[in-house]
Structures are given as C-alpha cells and as structure tokens.
Amino acid sequence: MVDSKESFAFVPEGEKIGEARLPEVTIPEGKVFKGWSEKEDGSGELFTKDSKVEKNITLYPVFEEKKNTPPVINVEDKELTVGDTFDPLEGVTATDEEDGDISGSIEVLNNEVDTTKVGIYEVTYKVTDSQGASTTKTIYVTVNPKQEVLNEVPVIDASDRVLTEGD
C-alpha cells in the first residue's frame, strides 16, 4: 500500500520489493537514489527491487551524494627546436571517471609559444565534465636553439684518374 503523497512504502511479508507498489521518488539535487531502508535516516539494511521481504516492513528511500570526480588532463612538458611547429592540442587527452574520454572538451586558455624564438613558454589547458567539475593544467614548452654543426669533417669528392706521361 502506498500513499502517493508519502515518501515511504509498506511491503507485506513474502513479497519482493520490486513487486510492491512503491511511491514515485523525487531525487534531491546533487543526489542519486541508492535503494530502500527500514530506517528513515537510511542507516539500516539497504534493500533493492530484488530483495525478498521476510516480515512486514515500511521502507524509506535512501540517497547518497552524486559522485563527481574532477577530470584529469593528460599532457606533459614539451621540448621543441626553433623552427618546429607546435599544435597545443596534439597528444593532449582528458579523462573523467564518470564521463570517460572528454578530450574533445579541452580548452586552451593560454598559449604564447613562439617557435621562432628560444625560450620557455606556458600553455594552460582547461576541461569541464558534464556535471560541471573542471580542471586546469599548465605545462612548459621549451624552445631550444637549432644545433649548428661546427667543424664538419671535410668530404673529398674525387675519382680515380690515370695519368700518362706527357699529359
């Protein structure tokens, strides 16, 4: 028996919870439905729809905080040489425990890398998951000078020649 205005249900002995007519449960913001409990504070045994009831019980909905682990940006510092090309998103990925691969959501907040000049530059990334948790990560891109070859070994380009007297 369920009073649709109530947020609890009575389940007769011998019935499975899923067979009982349970009330519509309004899930509070930031929470997820966990199951049903005999105790209003949710501290008792947790029942699911497949739990068989061994006595007449009144059940109350149990909620828990919605888990939202911040995403992770996977990128490391980089070293380039003057004249190299630099794509700040190349090889950068982002993963989220709840959403999986969210690499397509990566934003570049700061990128002042100038591959025509030697220096150390910052690149800052940001990614936000579907529940609003975000992460930023800054890496350093080092642009090194071109290595000029000093004191090359000479190359002699010659072929065998036969000389005859009088030439």
> pLDDT-based confidence at 55, cuts 50/70/90?
confident
**b/e map 50-67, b = 16+ CB within 10 Å:** ebebeeebebbbbeeeee
Other residues' Cβ atoms within 10 Å of the Cβ of residue 115: 16
CATH architecture designation of domain 9-65: Sandwich (2.60)
Query: Domain 72-144 classified CATH 2.60.40.10?
Result: yes
Other residues' Cβ atoms within 10 Å of the Cβ of residue 106: 20
Nearest CA to 129 out of 95, 83, 85, 164 is that of 95
As annotated, the residues of the chain forming the CATH 2.60.40.4270 domain(s) are: 9-65
Nearest CA to 135 out of 88, 91, 96, 87 is that of 96
User: What percentage of residues in the chain have a pLDDT greater than 70?
Assistant: 87
pLDDT at site 5: 41
Query: pLDDT tens digit string along 70-118?
Result: 999 999 999 999 999 999 999 999 999 989 999 999 999 999 999 999 9
Q: Which of 72 and 15 is assigned the larger pLDDT?
A: 72
